Chains A and B, each alone.
Chain A
Amino acid sequence: MRGRPGGDRGGASGADPGVNALVWLGVVVLGGVGAVLRFSVDGLVSARTSGLFPHGTLVVNVSGALLLGLLGGLALDERVALLAGTALVGAYTTFSTWMFETLRLAEDRQPSRAAANIAVSLALGLAAAALGAVMGSAV
């Protein structure tokens, strides 16, 4: 991972100078920003909810799915998509915390909350990503 542009297939985009070291530096910075944003939004939401259900991660993940769907619908340049989508929004949302909190709910004998955390996240996440794509395409 030293600024090697991957994904050139059969030379069709082989001359693309696009993803260079500067872009990878941007990936690093925006990845960090996305993680800090997640921490902040999670904190804001968790402070206002009961704590019995991981609302913070749910809000982060659903809002991120909407944003990534929107960015995908906009048909952005490869570098912009990598920076704004993969790096920033990708790091903003989290699969690991979602799974971890689900398991902890199950460990705490809250199987219905654990199941709800999976079902609600998937349903709202899919709807948000699809809605975002429609919004992005309409712009």
Chain B
Amino acid sequence: MNKDPRAVAAIFAGGALGALARAGLAQAFPSSPAHWPWPTFAVNILGAFLVGYFVTRLQERLPLSSYRRPLLGTGLCGGLTTFSTMQVELVHMLNAGEYLLAFAYGLVSVAAGCVAVQVGTAVVRRVRIRA
């Protein structure tokens, strides 16, 4: 396990920033079990795009760095996105009898998340081919 204090500091900083953005959005737009949880959905899909972009760029484009991936990938994208809130939202939808909404939210989140990672990855790889 990597115990490099710079990596841990970078994860802390990235996670702090990501969590602040996510929490700010969640406070500004409170959601209810009967509606599509846009704040969670938006940060999750944005974070999936960014992690595809950052990690691919760091692996395939930039020189090795000890802090960029911890800062941007593990920290920022990890802190910006959330799995736990999505699961609790799904449970609330199911408890409220919103089965179709829960099914759609789960399915669309996973599908859009996969597409977002791929788009983020493709953006980096396309730039490399042209360059």
Q: B34 at interface (Cβ–Cβ under 8 A)?
A: no
Q: Of B18, B26, B73, B118, which one neighbours A91 at CB under 8 angstroms?
A: B18
* Bound form: Cα–Cα A122–B90 in Å: 10
Given contacts A68-B87, A90-B84, is CB(A6)–CB(B24) below 8 Å?
yes
Q: B57 at interface (Cβ–Cβ under 8 A)?
A: no
| A103 and B91 contacting across the interface, CB-CB below 8 Å | no
Question: Which A residues, 88 to 137, have Cβ-Cβ distances below 8 Å to chain B?
Answer: 89-100, 102-103, 118, 121-122, 125-126, 128-130, 133
Q: Of A33, A65, A96, which one neighbours B78 at CB under 8 angstroms?
A: A96
Question: Which B residues, 53 to 98, have Cβ-Cβ distances below 8 Å to chain A?
Answer: 55, 70, 73-75, 77-88, 90-91, 94
Q: A44 at interface (Cβ–Cβ under 8 A)?
A: yes
* Bound form: Cα–Cα A102–B111 in Å: 11
Question: Which B residues, 11 to 69, have Cβ-Cβ distances below 8 Å to chain A?
Answer: 11-24, 26-30, 44, 47-48, 50-52, 55
Q: B8 at interface (Cβ–Cβ under 8 A)?
A: yes
Given contacts A69-B91, A86-B26, A100-B55, is CB(A94)–CB(B21) below 8 Å?
no
Residues of B within 8 A of A (CB): 1-2, 8, 11-24, 26-30, 44, 47-48, 50-52, 55, 70, 73-75, 77-88, 90-91, 94, 106, 109-110, 113-114, 116-118, 121
